[in-house]
Amino acid sequence: MEICRGLIRLDSSNFGDSPLTVGEADVAEYAAQVLREAGWQPEVFTTTDSSRRGVYLRVPGTDPGAGALLLHGHLDVVPAIASDWTRPPFAAEVEDGFIWGRGAVDMKDMDAMILAVLRGWGREGIRPRRDIVILLLPDEEAGGRHGAHWLTAHRPEIFTGITEAVGEVGGFSITVRDDLRLYPIQTAEKGMRWLRLHAAGRAGHGSMIHDDNAITRLCEAVIRVGNHEWPERRTATVDRFLGELSDAFGVDLAVHDNEELVRKLGTLGLLVGATLRNTANPTMLEAGYKHNVIPGEAYAAIDGRTIPGFEEEFEHTIRALVGPDITIEHVVDDIALEAPFDTLSVDLMASALRAEDPGARAIPYMISGGTDAKAFHRLGISCYGFSPLQMPADLDYWRLFHGVDERVPLDGLTFGVRVLDRFLRAA
């Protein structure tokens, strides 16, 4: 608990490429000190500048022939507006059985669990079967350019021998009934296509008749993109996930009753719909400088997410929707990924969950967002999201991510440490 509180108290808000993004270095040093106190010798590394720091440690296993396992977390958090919160976002207050604060579930809770397990191992002299590589990284919340992606490009020796990786977002409980809790393990992620649309026209006076208006042309394209109904595209992960949900809740997902799903699953129900198809959502508009001046240029931002295997369909569809007069700039392109579920490592995750919760059932799922796993998947590493937490039945886990009053239950956190310890010892 105290490790998690210590991490949260260090404000590591990620404002992107801004002088305000400075706290990752302090959190990295704090995490490294926890490891040093348990006898480990971690490396605090710097990526693109002195404020962008992370922690690296390789714990040697007893079987030199076994592939290494990467255990990763990120040290940065999204910013928080304190006036919106009922408790200070960086005070890590303990109340009502929760630790409150920015990063409590995304993802300083997992960072704390990793540190707690390694602290125990260091004090007890525990060694795992396979090498365990620990990476606590900067810049995940802004795409990893100063973190995971930089590391894979500039420090390839760190990834020698790694065959699998475990990070966020998975292993949290969804209560079906007293004797059954689902624990989704992330085996897939949608890809990212952050686009900037550009329309050009003839500048002029706002009082005149004007048939070459960049804003009009851009808005017409944005409306077509925003209103497009993308066709359903299922992957093996989503098919199995829906089958498990149907069985557990008795909901016929063939009828796509989203209201029923949201009622039973909270915001996870919204996630289900997002993983059934490509999506493209307009998020920002930029044009003009004066009320009575028609600008010559207009811009729009589109947040696109792609189903694994359907990236080309996304590109062709967007091009057709915006039309030939709109320029498309790719601001961020990152891959979709999907890993197998029927593996020994996933079986060990499920076994560790059942040992601490006899009502646990592990199931695979896809997230609509992205994680640092994208960087590691490019190296041929199978990536999973497994940050085990047992959540209160009435707590909507997904609303806590990037949300106001983010918090993690103390009992759930200690549960997660026990599960993670069991898994890593057996892995």
- Could you give all domains of the chain from N- to C-terminal order, each with its CATH number? 2-188+336-426 (3.40.630.10), 189-334 (3.30.70.360)
User: Nearest Cα to 2, choosing from 87, 150, 153, 109?
Assistant: 109
How many residues does the structure list for the chain? 427
Highest mean pLDDT of the ranges 35-39, 254-258, 267-271: 35-39
Task: State the pLDDT at residue 326.
Answer: 97
**Res 142 pLDDT > 70:** yes
Please compute the mean of the pLDDT values over residues 390-411 and round it to a whole number. 91
CB 278 within 8 A of CB 317: yes
Residue among 394, 416, 380 nearest 156 (CA):
380
For residue 186, the model assigns a pLDDT of 95
| pLDDT confidence bin for 62, thresholds 50/70/90 | very high
Query: Mean pLDDT: which of 142-146, 256-260, 394-398 is highest?
Result: 142-146
Is the confidence at residue 332, as pLDDT, over 60? yes
Q: Using the predicted structure, report yes or no on whether residue 255 has a pLDDT greater than 60.
A: no
pLDDT at 270 > cutoff 80: no
The Cα 57–Cα 69 span in angstroms is 12
Phi first, then psi: what are they for 305, rounded to 5°? -135, 135
- Residue 329 burial (CB < 10 Å; 0-12/13-18/19+)? exposed
Q: Look at 51-65, 101-115, 248-262 and tell me which has the smallest mean pLDDT.
A: 248-262
pLDDT the model gives residue 317: 98
Helix (H, G, I), strand (E, B) or coil at 217: helix
Which contiguous run of DSSP H or E holds residue 152?
Answer: helix 148-154
According to DSSP, the residues that pair with 53 across neighbouring strands are 46
pLDDT on residue 264: 65
Do the beta carbons of residue 174 and residue 365 sit within 8 Å?
no
Tens digit of pLDDT for each residue in 271-285? 777 898 999 999 999
Q: What is the pLDDT of residue 254?
A: 60
**Phi (first) and psi of residue 359, to 5 degrees:** -90, 10
Mean pLDDT value of segment 117-134: 96
Residue 211 banded pLDDT, cuts 50, 70, 90:
confident
What pLDDT, on the 0 to 100 scale, is given for residue 398? 82
- Residue 260 binned pLDDT confidence (cut-offs 50, 70, 90): low
Q: What is the mean pLDDT of residues 221-227?
A: 98
pLDDT of residue 378: 93
Query: Is the pLDDT confidence value at 258 over 80?
Result: no
Q: What is the mean pLDDT of residues 155-183?
A: 95
CA distances from 111 to 30, 108, 195 (A): 11, 5, 32
- The count of other CB atoms within 10 Å of the CB of residue 18 is 10
Reading the block at residue 103, the tokens are 């990063």
Q: At what angle do helices 108-124 and 2-9 cross, to 10 degrees?
A: 130
Q: How far apart are CA 395 and CA 174, in angstroms?
A: 9
Residue 372: what pLDDT?
95
Region 99-118: what's the mean pLDDT?
A: 97
Q: How far apart are CA 398 and CA 311, in angstroms?
A: 26
- By percentage, how much of the chain surpasses pLDDT 70? 96
Structure tokens at 273: 């719909």
Confidence class for position 54, pLDDT limits 50, 70, 90: very high
pLDDT band at 257; cut points 50, 70, 90 = low
- Res. 427: pLDDT tops 70: yes
What was the pLDDT predicted at 262? 59
d(CA 300, CA 281): 11
Each residue's pLDDT tens digit, 305-323: 999 999 999 999 999 999 9
- Give the whole-angstrom CA distance, residue 266 versus residue 261: 8
**pLDDT band, very low/low/confident/very high, at 246 (cuts 50, 70, 90):** confident
Specify the pLDDT at position 161: 96
Which residues fall within 8 angstroms of residue 231, CB to CB, at 6 or more apart?
A: 277
